[in-house]
Structure 1
């Protein structure tokens, strides 16, 4: 693919780009503030030529255009442009909050950064109390995790603002299964699993300081 983009104002520079592309079509598009011309091909190193500059000669056709305030502006088409384009963009939102005092009653809507496409609700219980949180997530799975000193319950979903409900409190009823667990000194402790936890997890993490003085933390978790 070869692409040439030009701004409508004199202070905007011309941009030329060449790259690989999954799929594209030859032609031009006019977004009002910028015009782009695209040349596509499908043979090895076929994009040696620049895409031509977008045409500035009006062809008599018009379309509606958006400028951030209104989508009722009239845009004059040029060159071979003979179709109008209608598109809608949508941000992915999740509820976000952290509460040490029960439910997240003060949750706010958060627009998730690019790459974070799931919402999560988390409930963590320790001997000191319970923490409830909601946020965006890259990826997650609904279930529970027992790390000995804390139990976590997660509910994940992938639709807009789907994490309105708190994650349930982690189960405390032993189910007969056990895994090894770590307490900072040993990873030979026996942990009783509860609820639907039916898998053991073994993880390694480096924590603190430069490599020469780093400590290794081994986690054996029941999921």
Structure 2
């Protein structure tokens, strides 16, 4: 996929997302998990002049779920949230300190159903460089960026069998620059890639 430069990224991205065909996906092939909780994540695209990137977090090692895994900022919907976009923006601010005012929301992808019983709405947002990061050390061990053209290249993903919560299923793995992106995060990257074809 050939991506536009940072100056043309926003109109190109908006056009692609406006015309995309959305299909749910998930750790179990996209089937809905009973009693799943609503949640949202932000897929933060950073528009550097040298090329766009995606911002990720590495979850803190002491967390009870998904410890040490690469993820997008996000979490469960809470009653004070106006909608799932608000959930993604609130969680991003809480986890990494990026103000919602710095994020231009471009749209949402279809729901992604996880082994951990969440129905996640991925929210696509863009940021201009120069934002301040203030990671919450209780939740986040690291914040880093990977090139957008790399994480959208479906040929780089490897499909493997995993077992979690007593269930077995296939999930995707992407290894790049010493980082391993897998599970729901990798699945949502593939959803984004399909939306931008």
Give the TM-score normalised by structure 2. Answer: 0.20
Bigger Rg over Cα = 1
Ranked by relative contact order (alpha carbons within 8 Å, sequence separation 6 or more), the top structure is 2
